[in-house]
Structure 1
Amino acid sequence: MDIETTAEPELTRAEGLWFEDCGLVIQAELTLFRVSRDFLAGRSPVFKDMLSLPPPKDEEMMHGCPFVRLPDSAEDITAFLKALIYYEFFEPFPAPTTITILASVLRMSHKYDVVGLRKRALMHLSSSHPTTLQGWEHGGAELLKSLDSLHSRRMYVGIIPLARQISADWILPTAFYWVCKYSDEGDIVNGDTLTPSEKTSCFVAVRRLETTHANHILRFLSSEVTGCEATDPDDCVRSRVEQRRYADEWRDYEPERPAILPLELWEASEWERLDVCASCLRTMKEEHAAAKQELWDELPSLFGLPDWTTLQKMEADAFK
């Protein structure tokens, strides 16, 4: 039974994804795609099984081609097929992409079991959500921002259900941390992307991050330091007190500014403002590094997740 496209004038052909010499027509929402049946079957076991089934006697046809309706969004299928057909549309990390394209490619490559494409997409996501403190300090934060030149607060909330959907739990600790940093209460409470327990975890974590963990991270500025080598040890004390006061001011609430959470409370450039002796500086750096590592180790448990060792194994298994 050949379907006439004129019977449904609202249907439109996807730009760049309608090939006259190909023999399979796909519909997603109100968008039509004409692609190679063999090409798609060769890359996706799911499509291979779907297309290998004996056609029913009343099989729907369009333009003389087998016709398949998919339940997925046109946006997801468009990004998925373009990533399969046009290499430059979705290049491997560190080539730039957007969270919208990445999410679509991840969902569809996971659903239709396109292993190579899924790994390519996962590398983009994993690189912006590191599982080690070293990875975080070597660009994890900036890599996430690079996914979108104009990223919105809601983008961060949406990454969590995406990770759940594709079984990429290792990105969840940093994904939750981003939500705590960039999303306001309205995004969390009124959105439908997080479960009630996940919303609760975010609120509890924010309180702990902004109080207990922030104080722990900054403790090196006020704790007692032995072995001061300054001519006048009070000079070191005064500098530390001044910088602790300055650091505390950063934590003041400003509605239009992302929260300053413990992992960003004291960064590498901040050490230049301290006027202390070499011995005090060395001790303070060691104490700060230990506190930061302790927070990182505890990050998954803040959100009710398995420890980093378990999550890192999940990540390694996903890239085998």
Structure 2
Amino acid sequence: MILHEEEHMQRPALFPEHCTRADDLWFYDGNLTLKAENTLFRIYGGFLAARSSVFRDMLEFPPPEDGNETLDGSHIVTVYDSAKDLSYFLKAIFDSSFFMPPPTPTDLPIVEGVLRLALKYDVQYLKRRALSHLISTFPMSLSAWKNREKTRTIPPVDNTPFAAFRIAREFDLDFMLPSILYCISSHPFEKTLDSAVFQDDKISFVWPDKRMCIVGRQKLLMMQSQSALNMTRNAEAPVAECTGSSCASTRLRCADILSAWDMAGFLDYFEDNANVYSHEFCTVCRTNFKEMCALASQQMWSELPTMFGLPRWDELEKSRLFAFD
């Protein structure tokens, strides 16, 4: 007798004790049951093996008859991954709409879970897709940084940089660290010293990473202070052909705002503070101020990796290419 899907799903199955099935990854005609923690996934082994060399090799050799749990007459393959990670990973494989490449948005926990198991089980296209999402949010060029809010695919949930730092450390993604560390430096100092909470997950850094954050943050703030000092000097020596009566005082006000910051923010200073100067500078002084901020931002970006004791950008680019290979 042929069972329809509804009848098959109603048939009782002898589940292992304390186990539950993942309803959204339970195919009634699947031929492979995976167990992660206390969750069971019934999927198509051939489909998974076609995408993962590790599973392909694993499934070439059936498990021994003795000592292995079975369900509906087939063996259960236990994997030592979190059920959450495995769920994200399998959805990315079996549901083409679940984990699309940029510019389609996603969430950082999904990226993390997919990347972890894509690396473990050798699914190259998912690895590259996960890395592309991370790069869209923590870029390697100043122009990409400036356009980041339009192109990022990972939303700015509270304390995202701290969770991203943990991911970069786990998977040796040093090429993302400069922009991640800049973001961390834009958060209150106490989060680096103590901990930050990301989606109910408490993130604390080990001392060498704390030290890297602290030293780099100090260098960033020193460079910001130097930029504020340059604004003050420009106020004392007006720009040639200046036609405004409030240009000098506006430069001083801009310098006061920047010098009062105790966290990083200069890379977006010109764009974020347009309300301060847009109607106060004459055309000549506004152009001059824009060029000065652009030059200082480029200098800061160029020196960003070395401020945190990392290789320069050209070396980090080699690491990025290797990671995507």
Q: What TM-score do you get using the length of structure 2 for normalisation?
A: 0.83
8 Å Cα contact 2:165/2:177 also seen in 1: yes
Mapping 1:209-288, distance limit 5 Å? 209-210=220-221, 212-224=222-234, 228-230=240-242, 235-249=246-260, 251=261, 259=263, 261-267=265-271, 270=274, 271-278=277-284, 280-288=285-293
Deviations for 1:39-91, whole angstroms, at most 9, x for unmatched residues?
11111111112222353242623222232111110000001000111111111
Deviations for 1:251-278, whole angstroms, at most 9, x for unmatched residues?
2x6xxxxx45222333266251442351
2:176 equivalent to 1:171:
yes
Tell me how far 1:131 sits from its aligned partner: 0.4
Distance change >3 Å, CA 65–CA 54, structure 1 → 2: closer
Q: How many residues align?
A: 302
Mapping 1:92-111, distance limit 5 Å? 92-111=101-120
Deviations for 1:224-248, whole angstroms, at most 9, x for unmatched residues?
457511357x753233223323444
In 2, Cα distance between the equivalents of 1:176 and 1:206?
Answer: 8
Q: Which residue number corresponds to residue 256 of structure 1?
A: none
8 Å Cα contact 1:25/1:34 also seen in 2: yes
Tell me how far 1:170 sits from its aligned partner: 1.1
Distance change >3 Å, CA 246–CA 227, structure 1 → 2: closer
Q: Secondary structure at the match of 1:95?
A: coil
2:52 to 44, 47, 51: 44
Distance change >3 Å, CA 264–CA 135, structure 1 → 2: same
Distance change >3 Å, CA 203–CA 69, structure 1 → 2: same
2:193 equivalent to 1:207:
no
2:40 equivalent to 1:32:
yes
8 Å Cα contact 2:146/2:268 also seen in 1: no
Distance change >3 Å, CA 290–CA 166, structure 1 → 2: same
**What is the letter of the counterpart of residue 172 of structure 1?**
L
Q: Which residue number corresponds to residue 148 of structure 1?
A: 155
Distance change >3 Å, CA 198–CA 143, structure 1 → 2: farther
Distance change >3 Å, CA 196–CA 118, structure 1 → 2: same
8 Å Cα contact 1:169/1:311 also seen in 2: yes
8 Å Cα contact 1:217/1:291 also seen in 2: yes
CA RMSD of aligned residues (A): 2.5
Tell me how far 1:7 sits from its aligned partner: 4.6
In 2, Cα distance between the equivalents of 1:47 and 1:6?
Answer: 23
Which stretches in structure 1 are left out of the alignment for 5+ residues? 254-258
2:100 equivalent to 1:67:
no
Deviations for 1:204-243, whole angstroms, at most 9, x for unmatched residues?
2223323x121233344223457511357x7532332233
Distance change >3 Å, CA 7–CA 319, structure 1 → 2: closer
State, as a whole percentage, how many aligned pairs show the same letter. 33
Distance change >3 Å, CA 308–CA 62, structure 1 → 2: same
In 1, Cα distance between the equivalents of 2:173 and 2:282?
Answer: 44
8 Å Cα contact 2:192/2:205 also seen in 1: no
Distance change >3 Å, CA 183–CA 18, structure 1 → 2: farther
In 2, Cα distance between the equivalents of 1:161 and 1:171?
Answer: 11
In 2, Cα distance between the equivalents of 1:243 and 1:164?
Answer: 37
Which stretches in structure 2 are left out of the alignment for 5+ residues? 1-12, 196-201
8 Å Cα contact 2:134/2:154 also seen in 1: no
2:100 to 91, 94, 101: 91
Distance change >3 Å, CA 89–CA 165, structure 1 → 2: same
In 2, Cα distance between the equivalents of 1:36 and 1:14?
Answer: 14
Q: What TM-score do you get using the length of structure 1 for normalisation?
A: 0.84
